[in-house]
Amino acid sequence: MAVFIFLLFVGFVIGLSFYLGRKTKSAGGYFAAGGQIHWAVNGIAFAGDYLSAASFLGICGMIATMGYDGFLYSIGYLAGWIVALFVVAEPLKRMGKYTFTDALDAKFNSKGIKLAAALSTLIVSICYLIPQMVGAGVLVEPLLGMEHSTGVIMVGVIVILIVATAGMTSTTYVQFLKGGLLIVFSTVLVIAVCVRGLSTEPAGAHDYKLLSAADVSNPDVLESIDGKTFARVEKDGVENFYYVIEAEGAPVQYQETQWVLERSDGDGKKGATFINGVEKTAENADTLALRQVGTLKQIAGQKGKEADTGAISPFKLLALLSDKETVVQRWSSASIKDGNDAITVYYPFTTPGNKVMRPGLMFKVEGTPLQRLDFVSLMLALFFGTAALPHILIRYYTVPSPAAARKSTIVAIASIGFFYILTLFMGLGAMVNSVVNPLTNNMSAPLLAQSFGTFLFAVISAIAFATVLGTVSGLIVAASGAVAHDLLDRFAGLEMTEKTKVGAGKVAAIVVGIIAIILGIKFRGMNVSFLVGWAFAVAASANLPAIIMLLFWKKTTKQGITVSIIVGIVAAIGLFLISPSMYPKYGLAAADAPFPLMNPGIVSIPLSFATLIVISLLTQPREPQSA
Amino acid sequence: MLHEPAAQAGTDHAAHYKMKLGVKMLIIYALVYVGFVGINVFKPTLMEATVLFGMNLAVVYGFGLIIFALVLALIYSAMCGKQERLLNAEEQKEEGAE
Minimal CA–CA distance to A441: which of A332, A597, A303?
A332
Residue A63's pLDDT is what? 94
**Residue B87 at interface with chain A, using a CB cutoff of 8 Å:** no
For the stretch B80-85, contacts whose Cβ atoms lie closer than 8 Å and that sit 24 or more positions apart, written own/partner, are: B80/A403, B80/A406, B80/B14, B80/B17, B80/B18, B80/B21, B81/A403, B83/B14, B83/B17, B83/B18, B84/A403, B84/B12, B84/B14, B84/B18
Minimal CA–CA distance to A472: which of A23, A118, A53, A7?
A53
The Cα A120–Cα A126 span in angstroms is: 10
The Cα A322–Cα A106 span in angstroms is: 51
Minimal CA–CA distance to A174: which of A51, A34, A20, A25?
A20
Whether B81 is covered by a domain: the verdict is yes
Higher pLDDT, A22 or A126: A126
pLDDT, one tens digit per residue, over A212-252 is: 888 877 788 888 777 788 888 887 777 888 899 888 888 88
B52-65 average pLDDT score? 93
Crossing angle of helices A558-577 and A528-542, in 10° steps, is 150
Stretch among A55-69, A255-269, A324-338, A469-483 having the lowest mean pLDDT: A469-483
The Cα A45–Cα A51 span in angstroms is: 10
CB A77, CB A382: distance < 8 Å: yes
| Greatest pairwise CA separation for chain A in angstroms | 103
pLDDT, one tens digit per residue, over A518-565 is: 888 877 766 676 777 778 888 889 888 988 888 888 899 989 999 999
Minimal CA–CA distance to A163: which of A476, A500, A391?
A476
**Residue A98 at interface with chain B, using a CB cutoff of 8 Å:** yes
Residue A8's pLDDT is what? 82
The Cα A333–Cα A339 span in angstroms is: 19
Q: Name the strands in the sheet holding A270-275, side by side, starting at the edge strand that comes first in the sequence.
A: A278-279, A270-275, A258-264, A341-352, A327-338, A293-298, A433-436
A2-10 average pLDDT score? 76
What percent of chain A clears pLDDT 70, i.e. is strictly above it? 87
- Reply yes or no on whether the pLDDT at A626 is more than 70: no
Tell me the residue ranges of DSSP E strands in A236-387: 238-245, 253-256, 258-264, 270-275, 278-279, 293-298, 327-338, 341-352
CB A154, CB A140: distance < 8 Å: yes
Residue B25: give the domain boundaries: 17-89
Residue B72's pLDDT is what? 93
Task: Provide the total of helices (H) and of strands (E) in chain B, helices listed first.
Answer: 2, 2
User: Quick one: pLDDT band at residue B65, thresholds 50, 70, 90?
Assistant: very high
With the C-alpha atoms ordered A105, A110, A114, A116, is the resulting torsion angle positive or negative? negative
pLDDT, one tens digit per residue, over A322-349 is: 999 999 999 988 888 877 788 888 999 9
- Reply yes or no on whether the pLDDT at A119 is more than 60: yes
The Cα B92–Cα B10 span in angstroms is: 11
Closest residue on chain A to B56 (Cα): A322
**Cβ within 8 Å of residue A22, ≥6 positions away:** none
Whether B12 is covered by a domain: the verdict is no
Q: Name the strands in the sheet holding A229-235, side by side, starting at the edge strand that comes first in the sequence.
A: A210-212, A253-256, A238-245, A229-235, A220-223
Fold assignment, A37-197+363-618: Sodium/glucose cotransporter (1.20.1730)
Crossing angle of helices A68-83 and A402-432, in 10° steps, is 180
| 8 Å CB contact of A71 and B65 | no
Q: How many domains does chain B have?
A: 1
- Per-residue CA distances from B26 to A558, B31, B60 (Å): 26, 9, 21
Angle at A434 between CA A429 and CA A440, to 5 degrees: 90
The Cα A374–Cα A365 span in angstroms is: 9
The Cα B14–Cα A623 span in angstroms is: 31
Residue A330, classed as helix, strand or coil, is strand
Distance from the A303 Cα atom to the nearest Cα atom in chain B, whole angstroms = 20
The Cα A180–Cα B42 span in angstroms is: 39
What percent of chain A clears pLDDT 90, i.e. is strictly above it? 21
**Residue B9 at interface with chain A, using a CB cutoff of 8 Å:** yes
- The number of beta carbons lying within 10 Å of the beta carbon of residue A211 is 15
A385-403 average pLDDT score? 72
Tell me the residue ranges of DSSP E strands in A453-536: none
Higher pLDDT, A491 or A259: A259
Which residues 348-407 in chain A show a CB within 8 A of chain B? Answer: 354, 357-360, 365-366, 372, 375-376, 379, 383, 397-403, 406-407
Whether B5 is covered by a domain: the verdict is no
Domain parsing of chain A, residue ranges: 37-197+363-618, 210-356
- Reply yes or no on whether the pLDDT at A18 is more than 70: no
Whether B61 is covered by a domain: the verdict is yes
Residue A610, classed as helix, strand or coil, is helix
| 8 Å CB contact of A357 and B48 | yes
Residues of B in contact with A417 (CB under 8 A): 66-67, 69-70
Which residue among B26, B53, B84 places its CB closest to the CB of A319?
A: B53
Residue A553's pLDDT is what? 87
Residue A398's pLDDT is what? 62
The secondary structure of B74-85 as a DSSP string is HHHHHHHHHHHH
Residue A580's pLDDT is what? 87
At A239, phi and psi to the nearest 5? -95, 155
